[in-house]
Structure 1
Amino acid sequence: MEALVWKDTGVETERSLQPPANNDREVLIRVRAAGVCTTDIHMIQGKLNFAKPPWILGHEMAGVVERTGAEVAGWKAGDAVVVDPVVSCGNCTYCQQGKKHLCSRGGELGTTCGQGGYGQYVVVPPSNLYRLPAGMSFVEGAMMEPLNCTMGAVDRVPRMAGAHAVVFGPGPAGLLFAQLAKVYGASTVTMVGMDNERLELGKRLGADLVVNIRSPEERKRLDDMRFDVAIEASGSPDAVRDCFALAASGGTVVLYGLSGLDRPSIVSDQVVGKDLTVVTCISAPHLWEQGIRLTASGRINVKDMVTHPVPFDDAQGVLNDILKGRFRGTKAVILHNKA
């Protein structure tokens, strides 16, 4: 089995690993596409303490059923699938409430428990699989995990319909938030960032106004605005503060980006004084099918966000570029093309 393995010395390519074995109640998936998430990068950099090397990262996955356990029904070898990476015990209070992502005996493949999609194979329960629609690529399928998380956050906003929304961070999450805000009925979406190329992509994907806050004039224009919904998708503490400052009284702030910094960035008096609602999301188990349908119907465009579909042989170099700050794209997805 081929895999990119995170080690103490960095990420290394290995090609002779033993594939994981599935039991009678599990499914072995041959991964075809695995997204590179900022969470993965922050783990390698030591900013997030979710797992320790050696580890096979990658929680954004799509692939093909390789083998099913004897007790598995409804799936067969060759089925194209999207993988929900969150595994759980199925019996605790959180699982019974439909919140398996909060299960203390579970975790996320590639992040906190079990190897992920940077390897060629993963083992999952059949309940973690969703059919990849005909016409949707494996690359798009790998983008369903970040879509699921961002969609879960937007789904919790009390009043998105007709809202003036702002999104901080034109990265993959921010670009999804901008599209989802429109799908959920926002009247205008303003996207804020520092990279003109990404901001232009945001405009093509539906943002009504883009603001480069490196420009003093644009920064001043932004400071004079107020928003019903302010979404933080960059992980920047400065952006967090901007969200609370620019949120209109009675509005909603969505916190999504992780900074990995152990210091407060929220002024609680501001939250109370402006009567703000604060929401976030790390997983939305009930929204996978809806996200897949929105993408298949063309309402959400993830294809144009993937600037770097990377063959496995080139993936180590691309990851090193990301780690060293030399990557100039928006989203990289690793492709496993070998049988």
Structure 2
Amino acid sequence: MSTMRTVRVEALREPLKICRVNIPEIGDDEALVRVTASGICRTDWHLWNGDWAWLGLKLPMPTTLGHEIGGVVEKVGSRVKGLTAGTRVSVPFNFACGCCPQCRKGSQNICDDASWPFMLEGSGGWSEYVRVPNASLNCVPLPESVTELDAAALGCRYMTAYRAVASRATVKGGEKVAIVGLGGVGLAAVEIAVALGAQVIGIDTREAQLKAAAKLGAVATLNSSGLTPEQAGEKVRALNNGTGVSASIDAVGVSNATLTALESLMKGGRMATVGLSSEEDKGLLTIPIDKLVFSEWSIAGSLGNPQPEYAKLLSMIDAGRLNPSQHVTEQVSLEDVQSVMDRMPKFDTNGYVIITKFD
């Protein structure tokens, strides 16, 4: 076959269309991956709505979204190393160039020449096939026990949580950690922090999400509905013998969540923030800078996960310490993508919704 099915965005906030297009041609350093699992992420919904224009982000039209990709290598270009047809892979959303200063020091997640699947023709994951540039770096082979469903979960939300918890907040065994926002990233962060030996306090406004955090091993939960960040911070202290937590994760990105994560910290505490802001904040938050100075709080941004850090993450999954696919709550077809997107404003797509039916 020379064509494939794909879900396309032809205009912002307009209905998605299922089309048949040519299977992408690949270059010498690229791979063609047959997609077997592809996530429908809230990031896709934001992009479809035209958010993050304040960052200069503008989608090409038409385009195919989908950036949480698990699949099987179909063929590789002549300069690709370490991959052959049949290799099962996860495809990180942060396509890196491999040669800029950031890539050379191992920070491919903040590559100076980064690209994303939805910005490149033939690379969006809501398709039967995708082309992956610089495939020797941007295709991550899977251990035998790690499924392609796991791989799709790893494409964005789960690996983002891993980076925030393990590397940016540097969570250690025995520490108390507050995780604010228990969506896809937040619940993954709970699981990962618990696996690293931390004691987690999960914070959200939805009881179902608090119960999910407890099931994943959180030692305490807090419903922050109606609370100011300062009040939520006091509640965290009440849950933790009168003191704040060593580390916190803001898994949302809106001002209330970010400030709640900050106010939950003890002196010398560390916060990692992974959520991108909404139309309300447009990327600008007011930080209590005097408190930050007097308490010596540290704030770290966290984006995706650099390719070298996949080895430890995959080893934890391979050893059974982590289970990304347990967060998958629905497996759907390409025909279902629009209905899933329509449900997102109501926040009733709990867990990971993954496309596993493409034909």
Q: Hey, what does 2:10 align to over in structure 1?
A: 7
Deviations 1:47-73 (A, max 9, x none): 223332322111111001111223334
d(CA) in 1 for partners of 2:332 and 2:95?
A: 27
Q: Hey, what does 2:40 align to over in structure 1?
A: 36
Q: Hey, what does 1:251 align to over in structure 2?
A: 269
How far the C-alpha of 1:10 sits from its partner, in A, is 2.3
Q: CA RMSD in A?
A: 2.2
How far the C-alpha of 1:321 sits from its partner, in A, is 2.0
Supply the AA of the counterpart residue of 1:68. V
Write the mapping of 1:1-339 to structure 2, written as runs, cut at 5 A. Answer: 1-8=4-11, 9-49=13-53, 50-52=57-59, 53-110=61-118, 112-114=119-121, 115-124=123-132, 125-145=135-155, 146-154=157-165, 155-158=167-170, 160-186=172-198, 188-214=199-225, 221-222=235-236, 224-225=238-239, 226-260=244-278, 261-262=281-282, 263-285=284-306, 286-322=308-344, 324-325=345-346, 327-338=348-359
303-312 or 2-11, which moves further after superposition? 2-11
d(CA) in 1 for partners of 2:257 and 2:80?
A: 46
- Shift in alpha-carbon separation, 1:162–1:223, aligned structure 2, 3 A: closer
> TM-score with structure 2 length normalisation?
0.85
Partners of 1:4 and 1:11 within 8 A in 2: no
**SS of alignment partner, residue 15 of structure 1:** strand
d(CA) in 2 for partners of 1:77 and 1:58?
A: 22
% same residue: 25
205-214 or 166-175, which moves further after superposition? 205-214
Partners of 2:101 and 2:112 within 8 A in 1: no
**SS of alignment partner, residue 16 of structure 2:** strand
d(CA) in 2 for partners of 1:241 and 1:326?
A: 22
**SS of alignment partner, residue 80 of structure 2:** coil
> TM-score with structure 1 length normalisation?
0.90
Partners of 2:202 and 2:220 within 8 A in 1: yes
How far the C-alpha of 1:295 sits from its partner, in A, is 1.9
Structure 1 gaps, min length 5: none
Structure 2 gaps, min length 5: none
How far the C-alpha of 1:223 sits from its partner, in A, is 5.9
d(CA) in 1 for partners of 2:276 and 2:304?
A: 14
Deviations 1:271-307 (A, max 9, x none): 1111011122113322112212222322112222111
How far the C-alpha of 1:175 sits from its partner, in A, is 0.8
**SS of alignment partner, residue 82 of structure 2:** coil
Supply the AA of the counterpart residue of 2:275. G
Partners of 2:248 and 2:272 within 8 A in 1: yes
Partners of 2:178 and 2:245 within 8 A in 1: yes
Partners of 1:148 and 1:287 within 8 A in 2: no
d(CA) in 2 for partners of 1:205 and 1:106?
A: 34
Partners of 1:144 and 1:291 within 8 A in 2: no
Supply the AA of the counterpart residue of 1:294. M
How far the C-alpha of 1:215 sits from its partner, in A, is 7.5
Supply the AA of the counterpart residue of 1:23. G
**SS of alignment partner, residue 137 of structure 2:** helix
- Shift in alpha-carbon separation, 1:101–1:73, aligned structure 2, 3 A: closer
How far the C-alpha of 1:92 sits from its partner, in A, is 2.1
d(CA) in 1 for partners of 2:274 and 2:147?
A: 27
**SS of alignment partner, residue 346 of structure 2:** coil
